[in-house]
Structure 1
Amino acid sequence: MSADTNPPAAGVRVPWHEVHPLVRAAVEEFLGGRVAEAVTQSGGFSPAAAVRLRTEDGRRAFVKAVGPEPNPDSVRLYRAELEIAAALPESAPAPRLLTGFELEGWVVLVFEDVEGTHPALPWRRDQLDRVLEAIDEMSAVLTPSPIDVPPIGKLFGSSFSGWHRLMEEDTDGLDPWVVRHLDELAELESGWVAAAAGDTLVHADLRADNILLAADRVYFVDWPWACLGAPWVDLVAMLPSVGMQGGPMPHELFTDPDPAVTAVIAAFAGYLVRHGRLPDPPGLPTVRAFQRAQGVVALDWLKLRTGWV
């Protein structure tokens, strides 16, 4: 697959000048000077501001800010990210949070400005190898979790039941393999919570747009979904997006035949397939297309893992 034929992980960003004026003033007060340059950053789905700022005296910061419109769920996610980012230890490969606050219904996070770029798409093998090594290192550093977060089953339990839900919904347009095996998929999916359990702090939303490659290290950004899980969860959940975005297919990168992994892949594939059939959420016009494209790769991986015909 080429990157040109796959949907980008990008939403509709809010430019800095459209952020609430009191929020902009508060950020300038914290930074100690007026903003001279504001460069919107692409990547990510939320209808929010994501801006690299430079003040008149040269201070830099990366600012994320979201208001209650058009998607109130984004405010909830930014609150969660603010809590997680404030608690992450220095050992976590994440940009440092400088400050965060809520004002006029907006949630604002101010981070250090990292000099880095997202991985090139289609994926380059040298960059992918850097990221895979960094994920392994992150899992080791964050086991056991240094902060208090919910277990993965509690955070995603209601969402990762796609096959069960499809049993009660219209199955027109589903892959014929899915229709043949829907009962078995639902049964396999039912074991994912126990399979994914662990004491590692996992990011739980790794994709190319949540990764920054700096000269000397790899940073993982956007942590609102952080939770406790097995140390391999982040890798397994990221691989369908790697295959979809021009990299190797998941089975080429992960060969452990553990049935626990297969149960998690089943749940993740069910989530992607079912959610890809839903209408676009308010203010997130690209997320369903991205989920559908990931779902194709995840489902192919699941077919190989199960061996069902």
Structure 2
Amino acid sequence: MTPTAPPAAGPRTPWEELPRTLRDAVADVLGAPVRTAVTQEGGFSPGAAARVTTTDHRRAFVKAVSAETNPDSPTLHRTEARNASALPANTPAPRLLGTYDDGTWVALVFEDVAGRQPHVPWLEGEFRRVLDAVEELGRALTPAPFDAPTAAQSLAHAFQGWRQLVDSGDTGGEGLDPWTAAHLHELAELSAPWTEFATGETLAHGDLRADNVLLTEDGGVVFVDWPHAVRAAPWFDLLLMLPCVRAQGGPDPEEVFTAHPLGRDADPEGVTATLAALAGYFVRQSRQPAPPGLPTLRAFQHAQGAAALDWLRKRLAPTPA
């Protein structure tokens, strides 16, 4: 399958354009001024994302965003700071070194990870490596090491996409295929009990995509960007990840999920309900106006929604279409 999703990308703010007070605060965290900063591509943050090197050769990764660029992003950065600081030391995630928050700008300073994002389209060997790491992550973070919100709490509104489309009368038009438009009520009913099945005590990352993964030269896998962490079933991360993998050239999600150690023992009814809820989220979100500073997000969500729906229809294949 060739990729259908556009690159996960947003406009980056150059390091040199960040406020002087913020750059000075980063220098305080690192113990020396920043000498060089290289902007990193990938991901949907509309702020700065740079690998920096100080005058005394210390390396770090800095991400920073302003409420003026996107009103929601500073809140996500603050949540990520709390989550990152609470992760166990042995979690394959970057260590948070310090933060800056003046009420408008928020910056997070992490240890630099010498790694790269997986290739897109996905390569089989890299994908298998990430799948193994997802299994290890799920087992290592069970029970959840801190009191993150449950998936039901965090996604109660977001995962009612089908019901919201029905209630709003948004049942056709561009971007909604005929099968989906004809089955909106059934999809809303199918997804309704997802919280019963997705409940669990595993700390899920909640947003696993290629641009949130780093592959290191020693064969390791590091998971970055943790603002969406929730307590959920052990298979929750795997399910959320696979539609994006499919949309970026990856294999059949049904085959991957049912063969994976975290997925093969999952309740089939619960998987289907949660997948239906996820598909509804992506489809509805893809039909909303583009948020400030994130020009490709809706197209990316559309591709994920299409992949999730294809997977869902495969699971529903024994029933009449």
Normalised-by-shorter TM-score class: over 0.9
Task: Say whether the 8 Å CA contact 1:200–1:230 is kept in structure 2.
Answer: yes
**d(CA) in 2 for partners of 1:226 and 1:30?**
25
Task: Return the match for 2:202 from 189, 200, 216.
Answer: 200
Q: Which residue of 2 aligns with 1:148?
A: 147
Task: Return the match for 1:181 from 180, 183, 189.
Answer: 183
Cα shift at 1:170: 2.3
Q: Which residue of 1 aligns with 2:287?
A: 277
The TM-score, its normalising length taken from structure 2, stands at 0.93
| Greater displacement, 250-259 / 183-192 | 250-259
Structure 2 residues not aligned, in runs of 5+: 259-263
Q: Secondary structure at the match of 1:72?
A: coil
Task: Say whether the 8 Å CA contact 2:45–2:73 is kept in structure 1.
Answer: yes
Q: Percent identity?
A: 55
| Greater displacement, 77-86 / 64-73 | 64-73
Q: Which residue of 2 aligns with 1:50?
A: 49
Q: Which residue of 2 aligns with 1:107?
A: 106
Aligned length: 308
Q: Which residue of 2 aligns with 1:171?
A: 171
Which string of whole-angstrom CA distances, capped at 9 and with x for unpartnered residues, describes residues 21-78 of structure 1?
1000111122222222100111111211111000122110001111111211001101
| Greater displacement, 13-22 / 254-263 | 254-263
Cα shift at 1:117: 0.3
**d(CA) in 2 for partners of 1:6 and 1:282?**
20
- Equivalent runs, 1:34-73 vs 2, <5 Å: 34-73=33-72
The TM-score, its normalising length taken from structure 1, stands at 0.97
| Greater displacement, 135-144 / 86-95 | 86-95
**d(CA) in 2 for partners of 1:186 and 1:177?**
14
**d(CA) in 2 for partners of 1:18 and 1:302?**
45
- Equivalent runs, 1:72-83 vs 2, <5 Å: 72-83=71-82
Task: Say whether the 8 Å CA contact 2:5–2:304 is kept in structure 1.
Answer: no
Which string of whole-angstrom CA distances, capped at 9 and with x for unpartnered residues, describes residues 113-168 of structure 1?
00000001110000000000000000000000011111011001101111101112
Q: Secondary structure at the match of 1:201?
A: strand
Q: Which residue of 2 aligns with 1:268?
A: 278
**d(CA) in 2 for partners of 1:295 and 1:104?**
35
Q: Secondary structure at the match of 1:278?
A: coil
**d(CA) in 1 for partners of 2:63 and 2:180?**
39
- 1:251 maps onto 2:254 in alignment: yes
| Greater displacement, 288-297 / 25-34 | 25-34
**d(CA) in 2 for partners of 1:96 and 1:31?**
13
**d(CA) in 2 for partners of 1:185 and 1:10?**
30
**d(CA) in 1 for partners of 2:148 and 2:172?**
39
| Greater displacement, 6-15 / 254-263 | 254-263
Task: Return the match for 2:229 from 206, 226, 230.
Answer: 226
| Greater displacement, 256-265 / 198-207 | 256-265
Task: Say whether the 8 Å CA contact 2:197–2:270 is kept in structure 1.
Answer: yes
Q: Which residue of 2 aligns with 1:294?
A: 304
